[in-house]
Structure 1
Amino acid sequence: MESRQPTTSGPAQISTLPRGWANRLLGLFLSVSFLLAPVLYLQWPWKFAFGLKHDRLWIITDPFFTYKEWLGTSIYPTLQRIQKAALPSMRSILLTAFAFCAAVFAQNSAVDTFVTTQYPISKAGVLANIGPSGSKSSGAKAGVVIASPSTSDPDYLYTWARDSALVYKTIIDLYTRGEDTSLRATIDDYVSSQAIQQRVSNPSGSISTGGLGEPKFNIDLSAFTGGWGRPQRDGPALRATALIAYGNWLVANSNASYATSTLWPIIKLDLDYVSSTWNLTGFDLWEEVSSSSYFTSAVQHRALREGAAFAMKIGQTSVVSGYNAQADNVLCFMQSYWNPIAGYMTSNTGGGRSGKDANTALASVHTFDPAAGCDSVTFQPCSDKALSSLKVYVDSFRSIYAINSGIPSSAAVATGRYSEDVYYGGNPWYLTTTIVAEQLYDALYVWKQQGSLNVTSTSLAFFQQLVPSAAVGSYASTSATFTTLTTAVKNYADGFLAVVAKYTPSNGALAEQYTRAAGVPISARDLTWSYAASLTAFSARKGVVPDSWGAKGLIVPTTCGTGGSGGSTVQVTFNVYATTAFGENIFLTGSISALQNWSPDTALALSSANYPTWSITLSLPASTTFEYKFIRKYNSATTWESDPNRQQTTPASGTYTFNDSWR
């Protein structure tokens, strides 16, 4: 039993009503107020209710304390205009409380309506953008997701590995949950399209030399050869996760043969790429910063972890230890992104920005494991680190968008990618605003399932933003504090969907962005990712969650490894055409231990048996991207060839030859 007392700074109790009578009156009034809320919302003179000289209602008898906290949780900005002061009469108390109940009811009702009306629009929007028969995807091959039908300002009529995987993970979940059994054909189309796309040589390389990191293709599955931020290493991991979800369902439904013969070759190529390249830099999900990125690391860890489990399930045991070893290394590396002083997960290791980015909320949601509880190691949505990071991220937009002006710190606001954004003027995005709501719905699901909620020193600021009296502690679901906190979080989450609803046009079309000044849709129209993000948020609001992927109980290794391919090697021959003076020799060194880690002193000597072509054959880690250079040694002098460093990726198996010329 909790004992909650008003703070000493509040006014003295002034109610002369007997305590029991007051409680009965309040209970009756609250019950009736919810029944009358629609009438009040439409008919009551709001200015009369709020036109008091006081700024916040102070409930003046002990039994009302919890409701004082509740009233302190803003639903609309007008409710924040009620200050600590004793109101002149019970009539005023009732008027204000009636108004609050009406506001709560109105927001919840409005979000309910939005979800109901927008869901079929968003689902249709996703399917319209998938070839070959989608109404807005003309020219796209079967199973190919177009990012948007927009062909100018901007031109998004391409297919991205990342967007496609996230969209199809949504579709696969709808199918495997039994919500739409008609989706099987388009899922199989996606499988076929990705088997083709993986083998398309592109500016990032071939299937065995880094091409899996290519982010963007033409919608006929030919290579996009224009300039771009490449490679992007999240796509293979996300694709593996989507196909593993499908594979697990197939195995559970007596179709392991398709999972093994058709899905596994695609999945294995992606997992081998992830296993060997997770420790290399690449462009982030916004395609702007080349560095290590938290979102990429998080989805890579998930893919390797569930990939090992799936491999074991279908009897592909030879790769399990290697994938698990690299998953441990990635998990260890993920901890380095945390900024303990500022209380948020830094999005990128480079780029020169603050690192407060939707990147991390997206990572938390797309690696959500409902069986993992509030684990901070894997940055689960209800973990103290994820909640603290979410607060910092959301707060970074409160003062920079005009449409957020006047909204109090306890209320939802429009959010974008990151506060320093300038793309199309740096606006809020539909999918980034939606993802905040989804993280909070995921958190609510876990708290209710586990029957408790923990407030730590790390997450305290998040909770106090919503309930100022929140304190560090563990609260069982039977406690009043649990109810107070979860109610506040639910209302806060609904607030973000209310923001999306407010700036969604009447036809439900979701663009990429909405303007920071007026909330008008801008940039690419009918963005597939925007539609998919709304679907997953709506599901989370209903308590529908994804399957577990193995995040529960993971322990960070005491020593972080630097990567590799789990032990498998391939034979690689290096040939370089180089003329030399008598007594001068050619050597090789590079970025991995097999190439002596850039050491000129221990560089590997090449043979001149086929002069002027110098050669050496080495065993190198399979599916590994590395850099290297040739050097000349003559007497005591060492000469490096000119920049830039050469880069290659070893194949997953077999042998390979690199042919170069000295430069």
Structure 2
Amino acid sequence: MPSPQDPAFESWLETQLGHSARAMLSSISPLSIVKHRLGFAQTIRPIAGAIVASPVLGNYDPDPDYFFHWFRDSAVVIDALRLLYVDRQVGDEALQHLRDFTRFSLALNRLDGRAVAEVEGRRARVAPDLLQYLREDSELASVHGDAVVAETRVNPDGTLDILRWARPQHDGPPLRALALLRWAAGGHLDAPLLAEVTSLIRFDLDFTLRHWREPSFDIWEEESGHHYYTLRVSAAALAEGAAWLQGLGETAQAQRCRDESKAVLSLLDGYWIDDPDATRGYYRSRRLPDDRPSPKALDIAVILSAIHGLGTELAHGPADPRMQATLARLDALFDAAYPINQGRAAGRGAAMGRYAGDVYCSGGAYYFSTLGAAEFCFRAAAAEGGDARHWNQWMGRGDAYLATVRAYTPAGGDLSEQFDQKSGAQTSARQLAWSHAAFISCVSARRIAAAACQAPPRR
């Protein structure tokens, strides 16, 4: 049985859940916010269904400009919205948000970069010192069909991003499919909404079937190659999609998705590294062209893939001993690397970052990394079922990560992208929707784990 919890800690969890719910909702259909990118002669007025990575306007001054609809981030948010709806933290407005999101996403499929590239005088309206950040016409002209959803991000007014960025990126469609499949399975959607959601699920599954073998940029949009995270969520989407299609009587397509999902997981088995200089190996995060080494091989993205791509398989999930060993290696890495982890108070876990040597903004700890580690522990606890000893160990580890998040979260509940590795001060994008979504998902996983301990012991 679970031991009694600290009432103050439990109270903070509930209070922060309310803060995170409200903050995340402010990123969904932010119709009242107008973004002016004056140097690019752009005025962006969001439309219903867009989900911005952050509703706080920035222009790298020092806050970065995150006023975009990222395919990956928006999928994480729309899945967290489902958790809020099921938990009755939000009402039926969640269904309208889902409807708007689905229609916005379907409309994006009709975008054609050739029309943008052909606009006369497009480059002349851009400030000369910013031309280096503007995409070439030839690149824009290639964006149509499947290439749209591989764009990484679009403007929240439903137009293509005209800025240079890391493309293509293939994690958005499988993540969106996973989120929508879970919405569809909940039985909350009326027939018209279910039909629209079904159309988008089919598109995303077909995209994943066509493109999972191709190289793309990683979750951090920094290196092109074959990435554990992208492959793992692709496998999960295809597996869940197969079950969904089977239920619709589409046996042949279901079998195709099932076979491809198994092929992805088999490929990921080869990502395991037996490290002779350490007590534990780990799943490496990427395979780059020519199989050249990467200093980012040990990456929190692997752990995030285990919680974003939850499924029934033991392998490559929170119950996988090799995945648990990967978390242990990451914990040791950041425990040693970040000054804020030195001499920390009892009961706090390590603040977690992305990978060794990260230099983006403060290069420090990320809320969604630390929360992702906590959620992983809660998912592992849930998998233990009636094994009270292991359940307590995993729950304790998860709560320790949450205690660290609590220590670096202000009373108002704001969550930025990072908190500095030396001072703990919030840095990078403010009110990051993904950070709040990660908190919502983490608390949900904790509740599931608590319920699992109440289940009858396993035989």
TM-score past 0.5 threshold? yes
- Show CA shifts across 1:514-562 (max 9, x none): 111110001110000000000111111122799xxxxxxxxxxxxxxxx
1:347 alignment partner in structure 2: 285
Instruction: Name which of structure 1's ranges 225-234 and 335-344 shifts more when overlaid on structure 2.
Output: 335-344
Higher RCO, 1 vs 2 (CA within 8 Å, ≥6 residues apart): 2
How far residue 157 of structure 1 moved from its aligned partner, in angstroms, is: 0.7
Give the gaps of 5 or more residues in structure 2: 36-43, 114-138, 452-459
RMSD: 2.6
2:58 alignment partner in structure 1: 151
- Show CA shifts across 1:109-165 (max 9, x none): 443132021011000011011114577999321111100123222111111000000
Q: Which runs of 4 or more aligned residues in structure 1 lie more than 6 Å from their structure 2 counterparts after TM superposition?
A: 134-138
The answer to whether residue 215 in structure 2 is matched with residue 273 in structure 1 is no
Partners of 1:409 and 1:109 in 2: CA distance: 17
2:47 alignment partner in structure 1: 141
For the 8 Å contact 1:158–1:216, the answer to whether it is kept is yes
How far residue 186 of structure 1 moved from its aligned partner, in angstroms, is: 0.7
1:534 alignment partner in structure 2: 439
Select the residue among 184, 188, 191 that pairs with 2:99.
188
For the 8 Å contact 1:415–1:432, the answer to whether it is kept is yes
Q: Highest Rg: 1 or 2? A: 1
- Show CA shifts across 1:243-273 (max 9, x none): 11222234xx6855653x4223222221111
Select the residue among 305, 322, 326 that pairs with 1:363.
305
1:396 alignment partner in structure 2: 333
Q: How has the CA–CA distance of structure 1 residues 241 and 443 changed in structure 2, closer, same or farther, with 3 Å as cutoff?
A: same
How far residue 178 of structure 1 moved from its aligned partner, in angstroms, is: 5.2
Give SS of 1:150's match. coil
Select the residue among 321, 325, 343 that pairs with 1:384.
321
Q: How has the CA–CA distance of structure 1 residues 254 and 151 changed in structure 2, closer, same or farther, with 3 Å as cutoff?
A: closer
Select the residue among 68, 71, 78 that pairs with 1:168.
78
Partners of 2:34 and 2:344 in 1: CA distance: 37
- Show CA shifts across 1:31-64 (max 9, x none): xxxxxxxxxxxxxxxxxxxxxxxxxxxxxxxxxx
- Show CA shifts across 1:594-629 (max 9, x none): xxxxxxxxxxxxxxxxxxxxxxxxxxxxxxxxxxxx
The one-letter amino acid paired with 1:167 is V
Alignment of 1:584-603 (within 5 A): none
Q: How has the CA–CA distance of structure 1 residues 265 and 530 changed in structure 2, closer, same or farther, with 3 Å as cutoff?
A: same
For the 8 Å contact 1:199–1:206, the answer to whether it is kept is no
2:147 alignment partner in structure 1: 210
The one-letter amino acid paired with 2:91 is T
2:109 alignment partner in structure 1: 198
For the 8 Å contact 2:218–2:227, the answer to whether it is kept is yes
The one-letter amino acid paired with 1:151 is G
Alignment of 1:455-470 (within 5 A): none
Higher helix share: 2
Normalized against structure 1, the TM-score is what? 0.57
Partners of 1:436 and 1:238 in 2: CA distance: 19
For the 8 Å contact 1:348–1:355, the answer to whether it is kept is yes
Give SS of 1:291's match. strand
1:248 alignment partner in structure 2: 185
Partners of 1:384 and 1:173 in 2: CA distance: 27
For the 8 Å contact 2:347–2:403, the answer to whether it is kept is no
Give the gaps of 5 or more residues in structure 1: 1-103, 453-476, 547-663
- Show CA shifts across 1:621-653 (max 9, x none): xxxxxxxxxxxxxxxxxxxxxxxxxxxxxxxxx
The answer to whether residue 19 in structure 2 is matched with residue 121 in structure 1 is yes
The one-letter amino acid paired with 1:324 is R
Partners of 1:309 and 1:268 in 2: CA distance: 13
Normalized against structure 2, the TM-score is what? 0.81
Partners of 1:523 and 1:402 in 2: CA distance: 18
How far residue 413 of structure 1 moved from its aligned partner, in angstroms, is: 1.1
Partners of 1:363 and 1:108 in 2: CA distance: 30
- Show CA shifts across 1:269-306 (max 9, x none): 21111111111110011001111111100100011111
How far residue 338 of structure 1 moved from its aligned partner, in angstroms, is: 1.2
For the 8 Å contact 1:442–1:545, the answer to whether it is kept is no
The one-letter amino acid paired with 2:298 is K
Partners of 1:135 and 1:208 in 2: CA distance: 29
Partners of 2:421 and 2:86 in 1: CA distance: 38
2:238 alignment partner in structure 1: 304
Partners of 2:343 and 2:402 in 1: CA distance: 18
Q: How has the CA–CA distance of structure 1 residues 150 and 132 changed in structure 2, closer, same or farther, with 3 Å as cutoff?
A: closer
Q: How has the CA–CA distance of structure 1 residues 169 and 436 changed in structure 2, closer, same or farther, with 3 Å as cutoff?
A: same
Q: How has the CA–CA distance of structure 1 residues 141 and 317 changed in structure 2, closer, same or farther, with 3 Å as cutoff?
A: farther
Q: How has the CA–CA distance of structure 1 residues 287 and 274 changed in structure 2, closer, same or farther, with 3 Å as cutoff?
A: same
For the 8 Å contact 1:176–1:246, the answer to whether it is kept is no
The one-letter amino acid paired with 2:25 is L
Alignment of 1:545-584 (within 5 A): none
The one-letter amino acid paired with 2:110 is R
- Show CA shifts across 1:565-621 (max 9, x none): xxxxxxxxxxxxxxxxxxxxxxxxxxxxxxxxxxxxxxxxxxxxxxxxxxxxxxxxx
Alignment of 1:462-501 (within 5 A): 477=388, 482=389, 485-501=390-406
